[in-house]
Structure 1
Amino acid sequence: MTTQERATEIFARLTRRYPAPQSALDWTDAWELMVATILAAQCTDERVNKVTPALFSRWRGPAAMAQADVAEVEQAVRSTGFFRNKAKNIVGAAQMVMRVHGGEVPRTMVELTALPGVARKTANIVLSNAYGINEGLAVDTHVKRLSFRMGLTASQNVAIIEKDLMKLFPRPTWGDVNHRLVLFGRDVCDSRRPLCTQCELADICPRQGVETA
């Protein structure tokens, strides 16, 4: 089986398992999704979803957040970890969205990644989920792990992994590829104890039973 054939089969099987995948983060617009994704770094989506309702209620949109006291935002996001840096970035991003983009979260990779706290992964998530734009394919820890285990890449570098995956999957599916790999990584292909005996991809997995991130 070639790498392309394996990728196609993986997508088909995961599509059957997850026919309508969605982000595990709670959000209503591009701004909320961007903030939630920033907060999700080194933090569970479940924890972020407990923090964001009060955060978004207190500071509604980038206009309000741009005027926020960073110390107060720090306390609001404290439980997500790395709270000082996250708070500084969120307020800084809000100020730049207001100053440069007229209050609207931008719709291009270049403009998004110029915002404080927004790297390529976060930009890909915002573009795909909020705007339906696929400029790239978001690579988080789950996508990185599964891509290597399933032989879709030989690299551990997220930039290279993204390029490898973009060659293997049709552009309109990039957002769903991310969602399905993330969900499967959580449900079955765990980083420490993958459930290989219960895995519907086991027969095409070149690293079945090998516990490696």
Structure 2
Amino acid sequence: MKLHEKPLIRYATSKTPVDKEGHLYKKGERNTSYQKRWFILKGNLLFYYDKRSDREPLGVIVLEGCSVQLCESNENYAFDIRYEGPGIRTYKLAAEDQRTQEAWVKALLWANFSRLRMLVQDLERTYEQVRVDSGPRHRLTVLGIESEQVTTHLGRPVHGRAATHRPAPSTFTSEPLENFVELHERYRKEVDAVRQEWLSKRNQQHGDPPVADLVDLN
């Protein structure tokens, strides 16, 4: 997408650490030929520039919720960034060689995966804050993984299948990415159950009227 938001431009031009940078070929939305662009990856934002020396980017690709897929193309070492849902643009890119292609695919997958891991850690902290007030009785398990193992489980690197020269399409995914929605829902239900039990006990002890929910976990 094109950049019009000042905060994004400030972030792109800031001294925030760069996760990866280099030249890739990007297929235009109107001009269907591949154009050489300079790409900079910061977190889960992939900025692209007309030239390496340019200060401000031409646009940005938000990697949250995407999948990275090798694709058939007239350009060698091609891959695309795609999202689920109708009418959402697919970004087609190509590298100069197989090694560069593999490095970028892994970097883009990891950027998206790290964002999901951060969300899981936020959910863990919310759960722990409620659990402390309700006592040690509850022990959270999500998808068969105990709470203290969740971060370790999600912290493993994502290993996609090695890219090959003009391969058949193959989507790079991982179990944690596929299960994140279910994991989020399980966390939400357990946090809500623990909180309701704590409120019920407190009301019984102090004779307080029911307390309305202060946080919407949906």
TM-score, normalised with respect to structure 1: 0.28
* Higher alpha-carbon Rg: 2
Greater RCO, CA 8 A, separation 6+? 1
TM-score, normalised with respect to structure 2: 0.28
Higher strand share: 2
